[in-house]
Amino acid sequence: MRSRFDSQLALLNAELIQMGALCEEAISKAAKALENGDRMLAEQVKPLEGEIDQMERDIETLCLKLLLQQQPVARDLRQISAAMKIITDMERIGDQAADIAEIILAMLAQGYVPEDVGHIREMAAEVIKMVTESVDSYVQKDTVRAKLVIAHDDIVDQCFDRVKQVLIGNIAENPGCGEHALDLLMIDKYLERIGDHAVNIAEWVIFAVTGEHKGEAL
């Protein structure tokens, strides 16, 4: 009985890794679409969001089967409960990557010409790293890595603050580019939110292992 349960948990872990990889791909494609002014790349993000949504439903079904058939307790129960919370955050990451792609498509329709968006590339790389590490920390039951993800959010917040100041300066120097600057600011804000969701995932990892969430024993 236990071996069957362990094999189902292994499947759950594999599904979570795949869902995390789809999130990373969606973020990466959106960032590259902006950097290169690539409409086709931006249009590939929406189907990825659909795949992420489907994986959320599939993993939720697997978790419910585990809960009903195996009736887990203690750490096993926390691991499954945490997975159900984690997929909600990953689904929202997919939504926000799709929102970024929609902004880019609208910018391209208005004649957007690719420019130096190194700040967005940097932020996207940081949040992708956070998503990867948070999901891996769940699979490895590694609270140290999860805590590093939470600490890393400060770097993303600092990136966002720097970008915001640059864009505000650009608007002051050239008021005519205000709408364009606001589009870029919204993209950065979505990336910051993705970082927040990675933090949520890391916090659920800590709960799965220790039974504590945000400093409170559950």
Residue-range domains of the chain with CATH:
2-217 (1.20.58.220)
217 Cβ partners below 8 Å, 6+ apart? 211
CB 5 within 8 A of CB 91: no
User: What pLDDT shows up at residue 155?
Assistant: 92
Predicted confidence at residue 183, as pLDDT, reads 92
Q: What is the pTM of this model?
A: 0.93
Q: What is the mean pLDDT of the chain?
A: 92
Cα angle for residues 39, 43, 48 (degrees, 5° grid): 145
- Given this model, what pLDDT does residue 218 score? 42
Integer Cα distance of 4 and 164 in angstroms: 51
Cα–Cα distance, 112 to 131 (Å, whole number): 29
